[in-house]
Amino acid sequence: MKITIDDSSVYCYTNSRNIDSSKPSIVFIHGSGMDHTVWTLAARHFARHGNNVIAVDLPGHGRSTGAPLQSIPSMADWLEKVLDALEVEAAAVVGHSLGSLIALDFSARHAKRARALAMVGTIVPMPVSGAILDACKNNDHAAFDMLTQYGLSKRHQYGGNRSSGIWMVGSSLRLYERSQPGALYFDMNACNEYQNGLQSASAVECPVLMVLGSEDRLTPVRGTGPLQEAFHQPEVSVIQGAGHTLMMEAPNALLDALHRIL
């Protein structure tokens, strides 16, 4: 489904269904340099289970046009416009990595629009190393390589995908390679500069789920304590053996975890 926001075309994957106001809605937000396809399995699942699913492509990503946004709050405000355009009053917001910060900020500042928050592969704050930022800024393929390799658990760098025949390293690289030049930098920089995360977390009123990979090297579990403390009794699910790229590395366990809140 395509809608227009701020004169730009916005793509939302909806499982080829129209938004039904009688159904609960779930918004899925991808991570840096990615697009809606990372959420295909989950979106298909929750669509079959009676939800409106809205897997967005952020501006300048995937099938959405326009310039990439440059801060987490601007992305959260953009998300509100998406819900307005789709006439969705409130939705559960599910985000991965960058998307998790957008979902967090949205849930804090647009509290009435968020009925649940699921943060997947997350940490607050989310600092990004200078080497990665520099590579992203220069549109250097090394950025894709670093994020792909550190994004997967060491074990999953050799594969073992539950989705038959799909090579996770190749899939991750191809998605990054498809990203608009500059988009990955703006995304990563937005993560790096988002400093209000813990305050936002303390302001969130809806139920919260954190899904973490035990072998995550980009947003390691051991660093998520402050975020867990800032929330009011979050549900926390740690998926053993998975790294940061949970949708690929542990799609079934992720679905099961999301069911705790969705």
Which residues make up the interface to other proteins (CB under 8 A)? 13, 16, 35, 37, 40-42, 44-45, 48, 62-63, 129, 131-132, 142, 145-146, 149, 155, 157-167, 169-171, 174-175, 177-178, 251-252, 255
Q: Which is nearer to other proteins, 70 or 252 (CB)?
A: 252
CB 68, min distance to other proteins, A: 18
Q: Which is nearer to other proteins, 54 or 108 (CB)?
A: 54
Name the residue with tokens 């977390």: 201
DSSP state, residue 58: P
What is the identity of the amino acid at 249?
A: E
What is the identity of the amino acid at 244?
A: H
Give ∠ CA 170-173-174 in degrees, rounded to 5.
85
DSSP state, residue 53: E
**Residues facing residue 83 across a β-bridge:** none
Q: Which is nearer to other proteins, 44 or 109 (CB)?
A: 44
CB 91, min distance to other proteins, A: 19
CB 8, min distance to other proteins, A: 18
CB 37, min distance to other proteins, A: 4
Is residue 154 within 8 Å of 251, Cβ to Cβ?
no
CB 107, min distance to other proteins, A: 25
Q: Which is nearer to other proteins, 86 or 114 (CB)?
A: 86
CB hemisphere CA count around 227 (13 angstroms): 29
Rounded CA gap, 90 and 80, in Å?
10
Q: Is 95 helix (H, G, I), strand (E, B) or coil?
A: strand
DSSP state, residue 213: E
Q: Which is nearer to other proteins, 130 or 233 (CB)?
A: 130
Q: Which is nearer to other proteins, 164 or 233 (CB)?
A: 164
CB 24, min distance to other proteins, A: 17
Q: Is 220 helix (H, G, I), strand (E, B) or coil?
A: coil
